[in-house]
Amino acid sequence: MATSISGTPIPISSLPLHDRVAIITGASRGIGRAIALHLASLGAKLVINYTSNKVQADLVTAEINSFFPGNTPRALTVQADVSDPSQVKSLFDIAEQFFNSQPYILVNSAGVSNDKGISVADTPVEEFDEYFSVNTRGAFLCAKEAANRLKRGGGGRIILLSSSIVASLRPGCAAYAASKAAIDAMVKILAKELKGTGITANCVSPGPIATDMYFAGKTEEMVQRAIDECPHGRLGQGQDVAPVVGFLATDASEWVNGQVIPVNGGYI
């Protein structure tokens, strides 16, 4: 049972994602964690994917399972590298087997960023390759598997995370922006290719969000500049992004398809 604002218990069966299986990549922390917790509050059953931080992923799973006490777990922790096609396939296989149901929802939140304001001329090739391996290839492999494996006939949702940096085109982050711009293009085409399946495909494009990944490598001056450029005068939080993803995951979003939705507080 969930609980309403008034404290009245809400049956799981009345929640908008009642028992729909959702796979969330990169869900051990940051934006992915916030999305996982939010979808769980909407009634979804969750596969909490992580690459290396098992301890944090298990904490997310435990928190979700505490939402709805009972003998049947509603969340499962699964390790998988999204840049590896066999591991992505296994991620979907485990989801189906554990919950005995086809997944309805994929949210690809896994990604890497090392935004130190490095110009194209100075960007190491290894850094460029890592962005495209995890951010672009990972999104492609997850979207490819989802296009073949999600529940058809209505309700299937593919939601990829991009970045508002694609639109802001800030100097010093060309490689990262390019890896995310490819996702924007891919999702628009994918939505058209899924015609007739009832599956929608969209991108959510956050601005600067206060996560460990965002702060890594940034000076206080760089962070303050992002805060000053935002009309709200602050960095975003995972909780600012999660409800938008939650809407896209529900039946209410059926008429939103092939879109890139900025969630950045007016940052650009």
- Side-chain-side CA neighbours of residue 197 (13 Å): 21
Cα separation, 178 vs 104, whole angstroms:
29
Residues paired with residue 178 on neighbouring β-strands, in sequence order: none
CA distances from 190 to 16, 136, 195 (A): 25, 14, 9
CA dist 36 → 9, 42, 260 (Å) = 21, 10, 20
CB 256 within 8 A of CB 248: yes
Catalytic residues: 176
Q: Which tokens in the block code for residue 123?
A: 């960007």
